[in-house]
Amino acid sequence: MNKPEIISETQTDKPVIESINGETFNSWVNAALIWLKTNQQTVNSLNVFPVPDGDTGTNMVLTMQSAINETKNTVEKNIGKIAHSFAQGALMGARGNSGVILSQIWRGFARALDSYETMDAQLLAHALAEARDTAYKGVVRPVEGTILTVSKDIAAAAENSINETSDLMTILENVVQAADESVKRTPELLPILKQAGVVDSGGKGLFYLMDGALRFVRNESLETPLPETKSSVILKEFDQHLEIEPGQDFEVVVDFKPGSQFNLNQFHQRLSDIGSSIQIAEGDDYYRMHIHVPTENRYLPIDYIMSVGQVTKVAIENLLEQMEQQKNNKSELEFVPVEPGQIACIAVSPSDGISKIFASLGVAAIVGGGQTMNPSIEEIVNSFKDLPTDKIIILPNNKNIVFAANAAVEATNKKVAVVPSVSIPQGLSAILQLLPDGDFDTVVKHMKEALKEPQTGEITIATRDVKINGVSVKSGEVIVLLDGKLIAATDSLIDACIQLLKKADTKERERITLFYGNNLTLTEVNPIVEEIQKRYPTHEIEVLEGGQPHYHFIIAIE
């Protein structure tokens, strides 16, 4: 990576950086991504609800990676041109709400730099202010205590700094400090964060990006994650968009109790010599370590951990074999052909089972995505760009994908509408209103109205201890969400389903549909269905293999 142009030095030998060009800016941004990757699991773990969908860090990393891919082979030194390429890459690769907002931050930043050859202190402050304004404009109802607030405080710190210095390093130091303090304040601005005992994950990710650039300028390490306060977060599955790279043949997960001389930084450094994709989560009195290693190293992490603590559980998975099985098991979907001039509907789906259901109901294409695997804007656009019609309706089917779907509307010349479904039951209710030869605006209206029809229940396992909405949850308990709100925690799936149906408007409805996930078999599901049928004998009950990850049941109450 290229070092900044040092214009002069003070009496304390601290370098003064009065301006940088595009080449140096590219190096700063690469360092920012490296530091975010290093702390990716920390950001992922900052999840309000104790459900296995903490993916903000992953979404921000993939968004940044897409941005950097646009500039990695360039010889361009004009900082304005570099910034515009970077912003375009971020936009097309944006995943999830956090990724889309991050892409808007970079879009505003690039707009301020325009075609400038270099960036000085005044221009940096202006770019951060433009980044803030663009991010806020991109959100219909901005919420304080989020990444937006952190972007605002960063911009304010830069604007205040230029009255005292023209040194980019000093301004960057002030910006990082402001970001850190802003993140710590987010629970005071957003009560749900305080209730859950976490700070905002998107804001924390933005802090790591800024801090990564500063650490690069200071020649500080980008490889060892910052220590975080103790939590009961458990490592979750990794984003399914990430492909296995060479040397990642096996996944090793070890639970262990650390010895008295355990040093987290040394532990991470030693693991770095063994493998990659290292994740370390701290529980109440133990750690969980996750690592990807080449075949010849698959037992080394276990041997090493036995030397620094007491191993309590080990899991080893052959990733190459899993990938091959996934390819072999993935069945081809049959879509109804779309004729020129017809309306085509695109649905986001988390699994093969649910994809088959959407295909049978007439969608023209499926975009893989859901919890922990938010598709990019580019993937959404690619799903319909070659269809022989210019009338497109998108069903995101997840609250974290709505932003990307809306951004896809702006990235195409086709007539595209987003029907903002935030759950699979809502999406399935909407697709029933599709009339391929109907009036576009009328069909969109009817599909949006259909979103109000079903209530959505979700049953999963808590990933940490928390108390939200008056519900106390312990890690490992079965938890119940009704239309996205945590309503109960219990010790059995049957009780979870019954509590859900009691608190929903089930008696006023006629139909209950259960989509069971990839962690259940039909043999396990049948007793639950029988109990539901006993309690609701007049309701029509249907059971379908959804195959979705993380959630034991997605339940539609109609």
Residue-wise pLDDT for 446-492, tens only, equals 999 999 999 999 999 887 888 888 888 888 888 999 998 999 999 98
In the block, residue with structure tokens 């808007």: 104
Helices (H), 411-547: 424-431, 440-450, 493-503, 522-535
Q: Any idea how long the chain is?
A: 558
CATH (domain of 417): 3.40.50.510
Average pLDDT over residues 103-119: 92
Q: How far apart are CA 158 and CA 295, in angstroms?
A: 49
Is 229 inside a domain boundary? no
Find out whether 354 and 404 touch, Cβ atoms under 8 Å. no
Is 2 inside a domain boundary? no
Range of the domain at 322: 250-326
* pLDDT number for residue 458: 94
Does residue 281 surpass a pLDDT of 90?
A: no
* pLDDT number for residue 7: 45
pLDDT tens column, 420-445: 999 999 999 999 999 999 999 999 99
Token pair, residue 114, equals: 């325009």
Average pLDDT over residues 158-179: 93
CATH (domain of 174): 1.25.40.340
* pLDDT number for residue 555: 94
By percentage, how much of the chain surpasses pLDDT 70?
87
Q: What pTM value is reported for the model?
A: 0.63
pLDDT tens column, 305-317: 999 999 888 878 7
Q: Helices 493-503 and 522-535, interaxial angle, to 10°?
A: 40
SS3 218: coil
Q: How far apart are CA 387 and CA 128, in angstroms?
A: 39
Query: How does 179-215 read in b/e, with b if 16+ C-beta sit within 10 Å?
Result: bbebbebbbeebeebeebbbbbbbbbbbbbbbbbbbb
**418, 300: one domain:** no
Token pair, residue 10, equals: 């003070």
Is 88 inside a domain boundary? yes
- In sequence order, what DSSP letters do the residues of 68-90 get, joined into one string? HHTTTT-----HHHHHHHHHHHH
Token pair, residue 456, equals: 């959505």
Find out whether 101 and 136 touch, Cβ atoms under 8 Å. no
Is 516 inside a domain boundary? yes
Does residue 81 surpass a pLDDT of 90?
A: yes
Query: How does 37-58 read in b/e, with b if 16+ C-beta sit within 10 Å?
Result: bbbbbbbbbbbbbbbbbbbbbb
Does residue 285 surpass a pLDDT of 90?
A: no
Q: How far apart are CA 542 and CA 515, in angstroms?
A: 9
pLDDT tens column, 195-250: 878 899 999 999 999 999 999 999 888 877 776 533 333 323 333 333 445 566 78
Token pair, residue 477, equals: 């308990």
**402, 502: one domain:** no
Q: How far apart are CA 131 and CA 87, in angstroms?
A: 11
The separation between the first and the last C-alpha atoms of the chain, rounded to the nearest angstrom, is 57
**Greater confidence, 272 or 158?**
158
- Tell which of 326, 360, 375 closes a domain: 326
Average pLDDT over residues 365-390: 87
Is 475 inside a domain boundary? yes
**108, 212: one domain:** yes
Is 244 inside a domain boundary? no
**201, 64: one domain:** yes
Average pLDDT over residues 9-16: 56
Find out whether 414 and 440 touch, Cβ atoms under 8 Å. no
Q: Which residues is 345 bridged to in the sheet?
A: 393
Token pair, residue 168, equals: 């980019």
Those residues whose C-beta lies under 8 Å from the C-beta of residue 436, and which sit 6 or more positions away, are 336, 338, 339, 342, 343, 344, 362
**262, 361: one domain:** no
Average pLDDT over residues 383-399: 92
Phi, then psi, of 392 in degrees rounded to 5: -125, 135
Find out whether 160 and 154 touch, Cβ atoms under 8 Å. no
**51, 191: one domain:** yes
How many structural domains comprise the chain? Answer: 4
**131, 147: one domain:** yes
Those residues whose C-beta lies under 8 Å from the C-beta of residue 506, and which sit 6 or more positions away, are 512, 536, 539, 557
Output the average pLDDT for the chain.
84
- In sequence order, what DSSP letters do the residues of 7-62 get, joined into one string? -EE-TT--EE--EEEHHHHHHHHHHHHHHHHHTHHHHHT--SSSSS---HHHHHHH
**54, 193: one domain:** yes
Is 237 inside a domain boundary? no
Give the closest residue to 17 by CA, choosing from 121, 127, 163, 140: 121
**340, 417: one domain:** yes
**336, 385: one domain:** yes
Task: Work out the number of other CB atoms within 10 angstroms of the CB of residue 343.
Answer: 23
Those residues whose C-beta lies under 8 Å from the C-beta of residue 212, and which sit 6 or more positions away, are 31, 32, 33, 34, 35, 36, 222
Does residue 293 surpass a pLDDT of 70?
A: yes
**159, 47: one domain:** yes
**108, 165: one domain:** yes
Average pLDDT over residues 101-123: 92
- Tell which of 411, 433, 450 closes a domain: 450
* pLDDT number for residue 525: 87
Is 268 inside a domain boundary? yes
- Tell which of 326, 357, 392 closes a domain: 326
Q: Indicate the pLDDT class of residue 11, thresholds 50, 70 and 90.
A: very low
* pLDDT number for residue 390: 93
